[in-house]
Amino acid sequence: MSLLRTVELRKQFGATLACNGLDFTVDKGEFLSLVGSNGAGKTTLVNLITAHIRPDSGQILFEDRDITSLSVAARIKAGIARSFQLVNLFDGLSVFDNVALSIFARDGKTARIAALAARDGDVRREAREVLGEFGLAAKSELPAGELAQGERKLLDVAVAYALRPKLLFLDEPTSGVSSADKAQIMDTVSSVVRSGAVTAVVIEHDMDVVFRYSDRIVMMHEGSFLADGPPDAIRANDAVASILLGLSPEG
Amino acid sequence: MEAAIARPRLHARLWPYAGAALALLALIFVPGFVGLYQTQLLTYGLIMAIAALGFNLLLGYTGLLSFGHSAYFGLGAYTVAFLLQWLGIRSMELYMLLGLPVVAIVSAAFGYVCVRHTRIFFGILTLALSQVLWSLALKFFWVTGGTDGLRVPRPTLLAGMIDFAGSGGYPRFILTYYYYVLGVFALAAAIMWVIVHSPFGKALQAIRDNEIRARFLGMRVRRFRWAAFLLSGTFTGLAGILWVPLNGLTTPDVLYWPFSGEIVFLTLLGGFRNFSGPIVGGIAFTYIKSYAVASTEYWQLLLGTVLVVLVLLLPTGIVGALSKIAKRLSAIGETVR
């Protein structure tokens, strides 16, 4: 059953066609990787689905409901969350507060002004639990700005995950970290996401990571889909191989 | 082992409350040791501290620099003067009860316009709107008294139970009013403490740190900024309400932009990254200014020098510098142990 479906989704920036009438589907419960060279349109597609930008034309359906005109806040409420390519955290707040805030926002508690945030036992318990799952419990009192890069990437995912979305987009969760950290981050992220029964769409450049963790891989090139299938099929696809080797698909 | 880890963290949690209780205790005993003039000066300091606490909800916690907070301070002061002039009200409690909604409504209206922008555009808008109020106070002299301002004699306190008419009223007023302001200040500071530590306050800080991420947690950023603006203006307005009976007079000076500058200045002086920074700044600035004015006619030059030195040497303000020293000392203590 498809959780998300786009119909003829199109977005053009000047002369660049970032999304060329895309029909993109995400099935419930899968761990999908979106791959392709820089400028292939991966981030644009995610930005369109999460309402960061508006499409020129086309439709976005989430659980068979048209969400094309919904605001960012309404889409989050519907169950779509995301993390960002460049780490986007609240650096002045503690690691704990970063996650707690996500829970407060999800539960509509951010308007509470007459109670201390630290006194909310439910939120405190859940925030601790999420931080534990992501292996950040020991750092919870540190300001987020003082974490190491790998931990920042994990916290970025944890903040999005704490919204308890049905569909979670992760834009390059392992960019800018060492390859040793990459495996650790992806192990953590994939196990949390799978145990939480969250459907995840990951934009990723490292093909080792992609082949190892994905249920399905979708390859983009110049605003269109080039290939779509399970890791083995993608590995055997000549067009994909030539792109990955930096050749043009025609050549 | 568990307890050994838990104990220092508990200390860290209780420290601010212990500090606040000590400071309050000290403030209660100060008038017993100093003269009337000093007591009066400290009252002014506490009033400026309330204004700065309000201002800092926007600057320190929401990341918006207002150059127009004179508007709300002056509005509080003029509202009191009008309540006296038109309705003959002399009760301090009624001044606050009727004045605060007026300031809140104007803050909401001005804020609605200003929070459509951020950074310098926000600052310029706040400045422009405060200048509108200033020019109104200046031009409509048949209502506002123009540059002569409006007189506000000593009010009655606690629903008229305490009156300062007759001989010896002045010293009695200064001493009693000090405790009155101290009480309001303590309450205002406690309320502000809860606000900045509430989920709402955390949301403001999140918006300050990263507006885009806050939006992608589903927060309506502009609404939060608007609410912060309203609260900020109202706190500063409360300071204006408390200030005018002590000063005995309100003039357009408290609506003029240099006064907004003073509010910015004293918050930076204390440190806008700490809760107590604006409080320390409000009191310290009041002293520095009064001694500067008394010692030289070029007092603005002296204040300017202080500001330059401050920005160069203490970018985090007095409280920021002190807490850095305290951290270093405790780190040394750890290594010695």
**pLDDT tens across B76-99, in order?**
999 999 999 889 888 999 999 999
Contact residues of A toward B, CB < 8 A: 50, 52, 72-73, 76-77, 81-82, 84, 88-93, 97-98, 100-102, 104-106, 109-118, 120, 141, 159-160, 163
pLDDT over threshold 90, residue A15: no
Q: Is B202 on the interface with A (CB under 8 A)?
A: yes
Interface test with B, best of A80, A96, A101 (most B CBs within 10 A): A101
Q: Is B197 on the interface with A (CB under 8 A)?
A: yes
**Whole-angstrom Cα distance, residue B76 to residue B327?**
39
**Are B199 and A106 an interchain contact pair (Cβ–Cβ within 8 Å)?**
no
| Domain spanning A2-92+164-244: CATH 3.20.20.450 | no
Q: Return the half-sphere exposure (C-beta side, CA atoms, 13 A cut-off) of residue A93.
A: 31
Alpha-carbon gap: B9 to the closest alpha carbon of chain A (Å): 10
Nearest-Å Rg of the Cα atoms of chain B is 21
Residue of B nearest to A164 (CA): B217
Alpha-carbon gap: B219 to the closest alpha carbon of chain A (Å): 7
- The one-digit pLDDT tens for each residue of chain B (337 residues) are 344 444 445 566 788 888 889 999 989 988 888 888 999 999 999 999 999 999 999 999 999 999 999 999 999 999 999 999 889 888 999 999 999 999 999 999 999 998 888 889 988 899 899 999 898 888 887 778 778 888 888 888 887 778 877 777 888 889 999 999 999 999 999 999 999 999 999 999 999 999 989 998 989 999 999 999 999 999 999 999 999 999 989 989 898 998 999 999 899 888 888 899 999 999 999 988 888 888 888 888 888 888 888 878 888 888 888 888 888 887 777 766 5
Residue A163 has its nearest CB partner, among B208, B215, B217, at B217
Residue of B nearest to A86 (CA): B213
**Are B208 and A112 an interchain contact pair (Cβ–Cβ within 8 Å)?**
no
Listed by start position, the domains of chain B span: 1-33, 36-256
Residue A73 has its nearest CB partner, among B209, B210, B218, at B218
Listed by start position, the domains of chain A span: 2-92+164-244
